[in-house]
Amino acid sequence: MAEAGRTVAEAPATAVPRSFELRHLGLFVALALLVAVGLVTRPAAFATADNLVSILSLAATIGVITVGATFVIIGGGIDLSVGAVMALASVWATTVATQEFGPVVMAICALLVGTGAGLVNGLLVAYGRLVPFIATLAMLVAARGLAQRMSDRRTQLVSADNQAIVDLATTRVLGVPLLVYVFALVVVLGWVLLNRTTFGRRTYAVGGNPEAARLAGIDVRRHTMLLYALSGLCCGIAAILIMARTTTGSSTHGDLYELDAIAAVIIGGTLLTGGRGTIVGSILGLLIFTIITNLFILNGLNTSDQLIAKGLIIVVAVLLQRRNLKERTP
């Protein structure tokens, strides 16, 4: 039984990266095409250091959330509450009572609120046996409502005494804001956790075949709970970044972020049914979406058209996933 457990838990970690090499190549080609479009349509505005920094800064906040969403989806779940949880964490961290204790306590507060909300999601899904869609949808509504109640629907400013939070967005190292480095660190740690640890191997196993994972000795319910807690922690980190970028905490932060994060994960090749996916693919999918947004802004195109384009991309990505699954099914 021990040998069976080792096989089930470890096999996905070695097989998955190879299977996604071709998809990564396709994502790089898509990025190259988007860059070419930018260079052709708005060369003076697109090919600048400031615009590159703008793209990376925009990607940073959603990117941190995308890392957490990748773990949850590979594990066979879904989290619709990430945007609302991030908003709640930002509001809680910017209340007058919290800000009195300084920037460190504000950051800790955001992390604890995000992780706590993720744990609630995990408990409802793993031990309450609720469908992930329903559990996280309920959290989306509740977290957004609580954020509105706490802030009285008002935007809360980060005080001058807590400039250290704002410095994450304003301080640059080698021309790049600190918040981009935070994003890069989260991506690296996420990649290591998914590809080089037992936790990552168990995530693939639980998402690929929960019953086989259980028979192999994995506590599926506890692991599922931890996946949602990890997603919540990423929301807490994202809340710190959004506070730095906007110098505010607001119940409106993170609107539709859950859709952007899930779409980036899907475009990156992660299966909605779980068991397969990569951090690298998710980040490439995120960059594709971010550059599309940037191109629409630079070219003065309608926001509605941007949403339509993103929707079409999601549909195409899912259809390609289904086609690849059929081709691999004997």
Residue type, 261: A
List, in sequence order, every residue forming a beta bridge with 249; answer none if it has no partner: 156
Q: Tell me, what's the pLDDT at 34?
A: 86
Which residues have CB under 8 Å from 47's CB, separation 6+? 38, 39
Residue 47 is classified by DSSP as: S
Q: At 177, is the secondary structure helix, strand, or coil?
A: strand
Q: Tell me, what's the pLDDT at 14?
A: 39
Angle, helices 198-208 vs 178-195, to 10°: value is 70
Contact (Cβ atoms closer than 8 angstroms) between residue 10 and residue 198: no
Name the region of 301 (left: φ>0; alpha: ψ -120 to 50; beta: rest): beta
Helix H or strand E encompassing 249: strand 248-249
Per DSSP, the chain holds a count of helices (H) and strands (E) of: 16, 4
Place of tokens 């539709």: 256
Q: Tell me, what's the pLDDT at 3?
A: 43
Contact (Cβ atoms closer than 8 angstroms) between residue 110 and residue 99: no
In angstroms, rounded to a whole number, what is the distance separating the alpha carbons of residues 170 and 183? 15
pLDDT per residue, tens digit, the chain (330 aa), is 444 444 444 444 434 444 445 667 778 888 888 889 888 888 888 888 888 988 999 899 999 999 999 999 999 999 999 999 999 999 999 999 999 999 999 999 999 999 999 999 999 999 999 999 999 999 999 999 999 999 988 999 999 889 999 999 999 999 899 999 999 999 999 999 999 999 999 999 999 999 999 999 999 999 999 999 999 999 999 999 999 999 999 999 988 899 889 989 988 888 888 888 899 999 999 998 888 888 888 887 777 777 787 778 777 777 766 666 555 555
In angstroms, rounded to a whole number, what is the distance separating the alpha carbons of residues 309 and 305? 6
